[in-house]
Structure 1
Amino acid sequence: MSAPRTTAWPLVALFTAGYLAPYLLPTTVGRLDSGLALSATEAGAIGSALLLSSAAAGFLLASRVDRIGPRTLARIGLVLAVVGYGGAVLTHAVPAVVAGTLVGGFGSGTATTVAATGIAAQPDPHRTTTLGLLGVSALAGAVYLAVPHLGAGHGQPLAAIALTALAVWPLTGRLPVRTAVAHSSLGGTPLPRPRSGLVLALVMFCWSLAQNALWGVSGRIGLTQAHLAEATVGAVFAVALGAGLLGVVGAGAVGPRFGRALPIGAGTALISGCIVLSASATDLTTFATGEIAWNVLYPVVLSYVIGLAASLDPRGRWAVLVGSASSLGTAAGPLTGSVLAAQAGFPVMGAVLAVGLLVITVPMTAVALRAGRRPLPLVEIPVQTPARHAYDTTAA
């Protein structure tokens, strides 16, 4: 058991470096909009491209961590993040900024893939995941508070991600050079419960798209519709991310006490209300209430959905596929939100997203009800791992 314990903190740090980019999405998109000659829709498209590049890394590398080696792959990801985001900071040429964010996004996704694979092999993955979420939420909150005081321009959020990747590099020396070779979780026996799994993957794509459509434009809602200062918007996001930690801790504490269907169905319905509230905000109170409540509920529902996916197949293959679908939805969210807001305004955007969430609540809850009453797996995030034992350095 000593190997997993010694690598836990490097995994937490790698998780933080990988997840910082999506956590800083609102300020990144807002700064691209204001700091470069871009429209709001174009800035949102760059944000989506960054996340799509990150998701692509997960698809391509999730089954290759054991072959390449966690230490090597983590270092490759961190180098790409430093070079990509750092390069985007140093130029005002839009094509170069786009290229830099794509390279940096792939680096973030690579780091996240290594971290998620390693966390899945820990004796207590719930605790390690919680520490990772605590770390990235705290760091992102600090960045939101600091960025408004660092001057104008597009580079500050990107520089924060690059510097975090650089700071994490020394810790990769404690990651194993190689892991036990694992069988691919996507081969072998047929997938059980194919109908439930496919439905869950499809609705998870839509669910994540709706969440990140709001998150991607939340900064502009606060600045342009609620008429708040950038420092105030950053403070709201910092508080919201802090409140989200309550959701992380609460989901772990409650566990399977209320089953899966109630947290997923009721939680998604409440999230739809938060989206409407945030998107229609015209003052600080409404904006802060919607954003904070949404950030509390989001990780709670997410933990139960991914736990549900894991319960559909004991080999974890549906967890991989549903997590991948979630990543694609995350990538498509910022552009979707920007297009809807540009065409119809923020309140209509919020209403459309809320209605969509309410519609998919029905099949999500139905899958949860059909899944039975088996123990709820402790899976908090959409980890794209081929198998739990793929990273287990204690394997014979």
Structure 2
Amino acid sequence: MSSRPRAAWPLVAVFTAGYLAAYLLPTLVGRLSACLDLTPAQAGLVGSALLLSSASAGFALAGRAESFGACGPARAGLLLAALGYGCAALTTSMPLVIAGVVTGGFGSGAATAVASAGIAVRRDPHRTSSLGLLSVSATAGALYLTIPHLGGGHRLPFACIAVVALLVWPATSRLGGSSPACGTSPVRGRLPHRRSGLVLAGGMAVWSMAQNALWGVSGRIGAEQVGLSEVAVGAVFAAALGAGLLGVMGAGVLGARLGRALPIALGTVIIAGSIVLSSSAEGLGAFAAGEIAWNTFYPVVLTYLIGLAASLDARGRWAVLAGSAASVGTACGPLLGSVLSEQAGYTAMGLILGAATLLVAAPVTAVALHTGGRPLVPGSVRRRGGAPAALLAARGNGLSGAVPELGAPEQAVAEISVPALWRRRLVRSAFRTAGGGGQSNT
């Protein structure tokens, strides 16, 4: 029996710990601004530093998972996250807070990179990424319901992220079956689908920047423009993340029945409208509707983008690189949202972000159409008919198991010793089949 089903939950746990800081970004930025006397732009810059450090960890680990293994980087990343965020929670000194945020962000990025590489090599990366987003959405939703009632200034949200990292740390011992083993040689050779991968990575960077520009200032929109208390804003966010859970579950059930292009294109259009609605809201109803619609479709589209990146490379390099590019966009998001909201207002900010989201939908959807399926093992494609055979195998309805999945090792050729008597009989049989007809004297 395969160990893959047992290896899914450690990946989901590490993915949750790595992504949690980005999901709690509105609370982190808002509390830094309120409790440490920072301007919104300065608080957004601290949030951007966290996410940029996370992205740098992803770029540093991309393509090196096979040389480092999974357990070591995951453990180091979770330990750095716990130490960094714990340090930020225990001090009010801005230099120490920034140092802790950057350290914790690097740890989060390392954990996310390991989880992304592990998800990419699984039989169904879309399902596993859906479980990961389901887990992080549920965790963040519970914290949004809890944190506003406990106070604690900026300390509490950072402490929560550190505690989650420590709780997930023991799960890293079960990562051996989900990622390449330690001590193997690093991946060599060119990345496959380089043009599609670069377009996807660039599109995910812009897409994530637009999303997190809104997410980074959503708390301020609710408090300043709509006039809600922190408890009410937290309740709206919890409800929105609850809707996101339903969206992720729906994406998991839907799977690849509609392909990847249609969910990405349609979901991005709905997300753009939700951004405009949420940023221009002046009442609780419109604000809640925009946030709930946005959070419902954001993780849905993200699961398909992660699955698309995973399908481009058997060893998960594009999954890590595209995820790191998205983290760069995410890092720029809070600062961009803060600057746009201060200079142009929330409504104009929403229009700009919605337009950027729509513009990036076209190239990303084109990549999904161009690379519509998980290809065969490269050697098998060449031996069995090249690109047309790969296309038919990726889209056909053949028997499961007849086509090797991406990344599966090719079967070794076994040498069989044939006795001399049988060799002579095989030679005579070959002569008869070829039309030799005569008896051999051998």
CA separation of 1:140 and 1:331: change in aligned 2, threshold 3 A: same
Matched with 2:425 is none
Deviations 1:16-40 (A, max 9, x none): 2111111111111111010102000
| Alpha carbons 1:117, 1:388 under 8 Å: kept | no
Structure 1 unaligned spans of 5+: 377-386, 391-396
* Aligned mates of 2:368, 2:133 — CA distance in 1: 25
Q: Point out the more displaced range, 54-63 or 310-319.
A: 310-319
CA separation of 1:37 and 1:102: change in aligned 2, threshold 3 A: same
Offset of 1:298 from its aligned partner? 1.1
Q: Point out the more displaced range, 16-25 or 69-78.
A: 69-78
Matched with 2:84 is 84
The one-letter amino acid paired with 1:342 is E
Query: Match of 1:258, SS?
Result: coil
CA separation of 1:85 and 1:255: change in aligned 2, threshold 3 A: same
* Aligned mates of 1:266, 1:286 — CA distance in 2: 21
Matched with 1:384 is none
Matched with 2:323 is 323
CA separation of 1:83 and 1:41: change in aligned 2, threshold 3 A: same
Higher relative contact order (CA 8 A, sep 6+): 1
| Alpha carbons 2:125, 2:310 under 8 Å: kept | no
| Alpha carbons 1:35, 1:152 under 8 Å: kept | no
Q: Point out the more displaced range, 280-289 or 120-129.
A: 120-129
Matched with 1:275 is 275
Matched with 2:133 is 133
* Aligned mates of 1:38, 1:328 — CA distance in 2: 23
| Alpha carbons 1:5, 1:122 under 8 Å: kept | no
The one-letter amino acid paired with 1:168 is V
| Alpha carbons 1:197, 1:309 under 8 Å: kept | yes
* Aligned mates of 1:199, 1:64 — CA distance in 2: 22
Q: Point out the more displaced range, 348-357 or 4-13.
A: 4-13
Matched with 2:437 is none
| Aligned pairs (5 A) from 1:15-26 | 15-26=15-26
The one-letter amino acid paired with 1:364 is V
Matched with 2:181 is 179
Matched with 2:189 is 188
Matched with 2:296 is 296
Offset of 1:317 from its aligned partner? 5.0
The one-letter amino acid paired with 2:331 is A
* Aligned mates of 1:14, 1:190 — CA distance in 2: 26
The one-letter amino acid paired with 2:200 is L
Matched with 1:101 is 101
The normalised TM-score by structure 2 is 0.78
Offset of 1:183 from its aligned partner? 6.1
Query: Match of 2:92, SS?
Result: coil
* Aligned mates of 2:83, 2:7 — CA distance in 1: 25
* Aligned mates of 2:128, 2:367 — CA distance in 1: 28
| Aligned pairs (5 A) from 1:1-396 | 1=1, 3-176=3-176, 179=181, 187-189=188-190, 191-192=192-193, 194=195, 196-312=196-312, 317-371=317-371, 375=394
The normalised TM-score by structure 1 is 0.87
Q: Point out the more displaced range, 361-370 or 135-144.
A: 361-370
* Aligned mates of 1:322, 1:76 — CA distance in 2: 22
CA separation of 1:8 and 1:365: change in aligned 2, threshold 3 A: closer
Query: Match of 1:257, SS?
Result: coil
The one-letter amino acid paired with 1:231 is V
Query: Match of 1:256, SS?
Result: coil
Deviations 1:128-164 (A, max 9, x none): 4333222221111111111111125111110100111
Query: Match of 1:365, SS?
Result: helix
| Alpha carbons 1:274, 1:291 under 8 Å: kept | yes
Query: Match of 1:246, SS?
Result: helix
Deviations 1:65-104 (A, max 9, x none): 3333322222211221111111111111111101100001
Offset of 1:360 from its aligned partner? 2.2
The one-letter amino acid paired with 2:232 is T
* Aligned mates of 1:190, 1:7 — CA distance in 2: 26
- Structure label with greater radius of gyration: 2
* Aligned mates of 1:359, 1:259 — CA distance in 2: 21
Query: Match of 1:22, SS?
Result: helix
CA separation of 1:283 and 1:355: change in aligned 2, threshold 3 A: same
The one-letter amino acid paired with 2:354 is A
Offset of 1:64 from its aligned partner? 2.9
Offset of 1:63 from its aligned partner? 2.8
CA RMSD of aligned residues (A): 2.6
What's the % identity of the aligned pairs? 61
**Count of residue pairs brought into register by the alignment:** 378
| Alpha carbons 2:10, 2:172 under 8 Å: kept | yes
* Aligned mates of 1:174, 1:53 — CA distance in 2: 26
The one-letter amino acid paired with 1:9 is W
| Alpha carbons 1:66, 1:182 under 8 Å: kept | yes
The one-letter amino acid paired with 2:262 is L
* Aligned mates of 1:118, 1:255 — CA distance in 2: 19
Structure 2 unaligned spans of 5+: 374-390, 396-405, 410-442
CA separation of 1:193 and 1:148: change in aligned 2, threshold 3 A: closer
